[in-house]
Amino acid sequence: MMYSKRIDGLVASPLREILSVIDRPGMISFAGGLPATEQLPQFNLANIPQQAMQYGASEGDTALREQVVKEMADIGLNCKLDQVLILSGSQQGLDLVAKLMIDSGTEVAVEAPTYLAALQVFRLFGAHLTPISAERLPKLTYAIPTFQNPTGHCMTASERHALAKKCDQSHSLLLEDDPYRDLAYETCERRPVCALIQTAPWVYLGSFSKSLAPGLRLGFLVAAPELMPHLTHLKQAADLHSNRLAQWLVLQQLQDPRRVQRMNDLVAYYRNKRDAFEACLQQYFFDLATWHKPEGGLFYWLKLHQPTDTRALLDLAISNNVAFMPGESFMPFGDAALGQFRLNFSHATPAQMHEGLSKLAAIFRT
């Protein structure tokens, strides 16, 4: 056997296959989770300090880490500077925590469905996935409490307290993934579950991909102090440190006085997209499927009345220039997701929504 054992469990993420398709001219993609390109901020590329081109600290640049401490205090997660680690995208946080916690056979509790690239990482390290709904949690629990991917669900205050309590009771490390929190279209509870933890270890993952720009590949983690030396060493072994130009650009954006207005505009823009998408769904899918109108995030999760295998229809859809994500990719336990699928509403124009959703409805109707 030439490769390591972990390669046996390694599969391409369907996300990746889809990303190669969405660039095709004429394609209407509801598949990915791409922010609207026209809403990406204008970065100020003047006066970039020369130090931004030099090697830096594995923990990240101090000024950006200090800013993260402030941002966390604003959302109710109090932490100190040495609890902050800058990441090359929050995806890297999944890799680091998997390295920290998962041996072959280690149990990891997850929501079902959940973020497919998290499943990919956990499986790569040999995790045995178990339901987060179980009475007792294993030593690692992964959750997306706010505008969950793919369902869009936002945990209520009591759901958050219950999850924190269960992690404490089981002494289960809570890995809270929170990339969508800034994209809130309604008022709802968004306090990090990590802030409610009393005794269990915890890691909170934040992202700048949705509120700023995915191309910069920058995120961060905040964690219980005892985890930080290990996570920092793992970060160092993974890529020494994160891109310093990106760190500097993100810091400028976070400290920009126009930031509040920009975020308000961004949220209003996505809210309009969601509402337009909702109207299209009402028009084309009213008799085909059920769904919940998401209070935030980037996705709709649909359940067809007929338990159709949507995977079998993906090729047909793509040949009709419309892409979606079949639900099976998000399922952790190998269970079927017949008739369930995810639609992104942030990328398409209103005209594309009409064209794409009417085509998709026609395909599912046959």
Pairwise CA distance, residues 256 & 253, whole Å: 5
CB of 92 to a copy of itself, least distance (A): 5
Asked if 88 touches a copy of itself (CB under 8 A), the answer is yes
Binding mask 176-215 for a copy of itself (x = CB under 8 A): -------------------------x-------x---xxx
Q: Which is nearer to a copy of itself, 165 or 230 (CB)?
A: 230
Q: Which of residues 123-182 bind a copy of itself (CB under 8 A)?
A: 124-125, 139, 173
Pairwise CA distance, residues 266 & 191, whole Å: 21
3-state secondary structure of 150: coil
Burial of 332 (0-12, 13-18, 19+ CB in 10 A): buried
CB of 308 to a copy of itself, least distance (A): 28
3-state secondary structure of 361: helix
CB of 104 to a copy of itself, least distance (A): 9
Q: Which is nearer to a copy of itself, 72 or 249 (CB)?
A: 249
Asked if 105 touches a copy of itself (CB under 8 A), the answer is no
Cβ(176)–Cβ(194) below 8 Å = yes
Pairwise CA distance, residues 138 & 250, whole Å: 36
Q: Which of 21, 67, 71, 99 binds a copy of itself (CB under 8 A)?
A: 99
CB of 125 to a copy of itself, least distance (A): 8
Q: With the C-alpha atoms ordered 323, 13, 331, 160, is the resulting torsion angle positive or negative?
A: negative
Q: Which of residues 5-44 bind a copy of itself (CB under 8 A)?
A: 5-7, 10-13, 15-16, 19-20, 32, 34-35, 37, 40-41, 43
Sole residue written with tokens 């064209």: 355
Number of shown-chain residues binding a copy of itself (CB under 8 A): 77
Q: Which of residues 218-247 bind a copy of itself (CB under 8 A)?
A: 218, 229-230, 232-234, 236-246
Q: Which of residues 257-296 bind a copy of itself (CB under 8 A)?
A: none
Relative to beta strand 107-110, strand 140-143 is parallel
Q: Which of 28, 72, 84, 95 binds a copy of itself (CB under 8 A)?
A: 95
Q: What is the DSSP-derived secondary structure letter of residue 296?
A: B
Question: Which residues partner with 128 through β-bridges?
Answer: 107
Asked if 86 touches a copy of itself (CB under 8 A), the answer is no
Q: Which is nearer to a copy of itself, 68 or 213 (CB)?
A: 213
Q: Which of 84, 101, 132, 281 binds a copy of itself (CB under 8 A)?
A: 101
Instruction: Write the CA distances from 202 to 149, 192, 361, integer angstroms.
Output: 20, 11, 42
**Contact stretch for a copy of itself (CB under 8 A) within 67-75, 118-126, 306-314, 350-358:** 118-126
Pairwise CA distance, residues 174 & 140, whole Å: 6
Q: What is the DSSP-derived secondary structure letter of residue 87?
A: E
Q: Which is nearer to a copy of itself, 63 or 316 (CB)?
A: 63
CA nearest neighbour of 113 among 153, 169, 57? 153
CB of 51 to a copy of itself, least distance (A): 7
Q: Which of residues 39-78 bind a copy of itself (CB under 8 A)?
A: 40-41, 43, 45-46, 48, 50-58
Pairwise CA distance, residues 89 & 86, whole Å: 8
3-state secondary structure of 313: helix
Pairwise CA distance, residues 148 & 127, whole Å: 21
